Structure 1
Amino acid sequence: MLNRRDLLLASVAAGVAMQNRGAFAKAAQPSTKVNFEIPPHACDCHTHIHLPEKYPFWDGRVYTPEPASPEEMAALHKSLGIERVVIVTPSVYGTDNRATLEGIKFRGDTARGVAVIDDKTSEADLDAMGKAGIKGIRVNLATSGVNDPSIGRKRLEAAIERVKGRGWHVQCYTNLALLTNIKDVLASSPVPIVFDHFGGADADKGLEQPGWAELVEAVKSGKVYVKISGAYRLSNKGPDYPDSVPFAKALIAANPDRLVWGSDWPHPDSVTPPGKKPTDLNPLLQIEDGRVLNLLAEWTPDAATRKKILVDNPARLYGFS
């Protein structure tokens, strides 16, 4: 069953399509000016590249996004004043990381990447990806949810084992409630653990929702990083997402040294509308990235703290010099 946020994202996408008389929207470009000074070497730590004509999407995908090119991403970051980027292989590519690697190559030393792998990925493959700029692997814990948390736990433990000794990290897409079952894994992990999009929190459920206290405590302890990214996935009260404020401030107060920011560009809508097939093209969400970046100044008015989130923490986590 779709939750409230899923329905909102689907309705936003449908509205965009209606406004364009059936034509699909292209990847968003900001029209709102950033209202605070972006420090040198700022990094957008969560983006995707979609090049389906060159690198076909995975047959097992659950949605089909529009293309989003390295050139379009570069235009986004020029508008926002952001120099560095982390490109994450999206689920629609399965374990095919070629589009991500092409995006990294396009941006050169200002880019790093996060790959998706499986049991067939060899150590030689990991070596080659490391040389190309990959600094971590992404695992999806959310599909195990709270129905069988042991599956998510095993996936996380296996991922930690694969990257141990490489100087990489494990990035997790998860249901927040799962954190109550993996606290000990987080505490003992020899590699950094990074959670996407506020750890999968839902602003409608408030700060008392299961798993939120565990996430804040893990951040406070320095054991995990959290991407304060995709505010529109946390909240359904756009375009300014006021109910994101207490969540962001709680994490920043816990430990600003373990937070990074990401746009989640090009904002794919992962919910295939009723009556459509996963292979039908789904329009990209038209998120106003300048306005969303301005939220960071509301979340933390302190310029030194913003520099940690935008520059210092990404440099440490992703190996920027």
Structure 2
Amino acid sequence: MTDKIFARAAQPATPISFDVPAGACDCHTHIHGDVEDFPFFAGRVYTPGPASPDEMAALHEALHVERVVIVTPSVYGTDNSSSLFGMKARGATARGVAVIDDKTTEAQLDAMHADGFRGIRINLATDGVNDPDVGRARFAAAVERMSARGWHVQLYTTPAMISAIRGLVLASPVPVVFDHFGGLEAALGLEQPGFSDLVALVKSGKAHVKISGAYRSSNLAPDYQDMVPYARALIAANPDRIVWGTDWPHPDSAQVAGRKATDPAPFHQIDDGRLLNQLPVWSQDDDIRRKILVDNPARLYGF
């Protein structure tokens, strides 16, 4: 892989316009190490470029963000070694979210915990899972596996699937975290199916939501103004259950006509400085922003 094939992951172009509190956390990032050391999963649906720990460090220095959560993306299957590579480079200010399967042993999970992993991710969106029965079964199995360990279960899915698993989430003995605004579509409005269920789950305290990856839900770059009512509704429902993230390096996991899974999928070029500057638009309260950036991640990820 070379820069002639892949565009580099974006770095912030806009200075931060507010005081970011000490201990702030970017709760959703990925590391893509050198492909020779960290090969991709043969069954992946896209092929991203490299995104190194040094590049991530530069990102967070510009954003004034101290802590990070590195999430294993679908391109690695159940191989979490690239995430661990990034976590070790960051040290005590990093935590991880792993992808596992039924072959993952309890001893392996113990080792992951020692390394700083604190949750597992179920990716129903990139996998194209729309069958509620499949979603319920995968979620229930994950919750059962994590119940004795106390890790959280993170889902990348759609509002329709959130509605389908609502009862299971309410009964879950472990925290549940929804990626990227719960996969909503800004153009469909606040009354879109599933959004009220997401809000209700957040209000109940049984679910966290990452107000991250706004570009996945909105077509109004670069400020994503149409995300304002959704962010405000989720924060108002329960500010103790909201965390923030960049989704750096902003992979393009979409199915594109004519692009094979093994073809290079250039990163989205997102200005994360401008993105973080939307947080004071979403919440003008300093104490609430501190909860979102510092207190909630510290509790959820065990910083």
Same fold (TM over 0.5): yes
Matches within 5 A, 1:297-316: 297-316=280-299
Letter in 1 for 2:202: V
Matches within 5 A, 1:79-94: 79-94=62-77
Letter in 1 for 2:23: H
Q: What corresponds to 1:181 in structure 2?
A: 164
2:278 pairs with 1:295: yes
Post-superposition Cα deviations, 1:256-292, rounded to whole Å, max 9, x if no partner, equal 0000000000001112432221101111111000000
Equivalent position SS for 1:292:
helix
Equivalent position SS for 1:137:
strand
2:177 pairs with 1:191: no
Q: What corresponds to 2:115 in structure 1?
A: 132
Structure 1-normalised TM-score? 0.91
Equivalent position SS for 2:278:
helix
Post-superposition Cα deviations, 1:28-47, rounded to whole Å, max 9, x if no partner, equal 10010010100000000000
Q: How far has the Cα of 1:95 moved from its partner? A: 0.3
CA distance in 2, matches of 1:180, 1:280: 34
Contact 1:88 1:114 in 2 (8 A): yes
Gaps of 5+ in 2: none
Q: What corresponds to 1:36 in structure 2?
A: 18
Letter in 2 for 1:127: D
CA distance in 2, matches of 1:141, 1:265: 20
Contact 1:144 1:152 in 2 (8 A): no
Structure 2-normalised TM-score? 0.96
Q: How far has the Cα of 1:207 moved from its partner? A: 0.7
Post-superposition Cα deviations, 1:37-80, rounded to whole Å, max 9, x if no partner, equal 00000000000001123110000000000000011001100010
Q: What corresponds to 1:7 in structure 2?
A: none
2:138 pairs with 1:161: no
Post-superposition Cα deviations, 1:227-281, rounded to whole Å, max 9, x if no partner, equal 0001111111101111000000000110000000000000011124322211011
Q: What corresponds to 2:30 in structure 1?
A: 48
Equivalent position SS for 2:277:
helix
Q: How many matched pairs?
A: 299
Q: How far has the Cα of 1:141 moved from its partner? A: 3.0
Matches within 5 A, 1:1-321: 24-51=6-33, 52-142=35-125, 143=127, 145-146=129-130, 148-320=131-303
Letter in 2 for 1:250: A
Q: How far has the Cα of 1:114 moved from its partner? A: 0.1
CA distance in 2, matches of 1:144, 1:288: 28
Contact 1:66 1:282 in 2 (8 A): yes
Letter in 1 for 2:123: N
Q: How far has the Cα of 1:23 moved from its partner? A: 5.2
Contact 2:132 2:164 in 1 (8 A): yes
CA distance in 1, matches of 2:293, 2:144: 29
CA distance in 2, matches of 1:26, 1:168: 33
CA distance in 1, matches of 2:256, 2:141: 34
Letter in 1 for 2:27: C
Letter in 2 for 1:85: V
Q: How far has the Cα of 1:144 moved from its partner? A: 6.1
Q: Which range moved further: 42-51 or 166-175?
A: 166-175
Equivalent position SS for 2:208:
strand
Contact 2:24 2:294 in 1 (8 A): yes
Q: Over aligned residue pairs, what C-alpha RMSD do you find?
A: 1.2
Post-superposition Cα deviations, 1:136-194, rounded to whole Å, max 9, x if no partner, equal 00012334654x20110000000001111212100001111112221110111000000
Gaps of 5+ in 1: 1-19
CA distance in 1, matches of 2:221, 2:27: 22
CA distance in 1, matches of 2:269, 2:128: 30
Q: How far has the Cα of 1:24 moved from its partner? A: 3.1
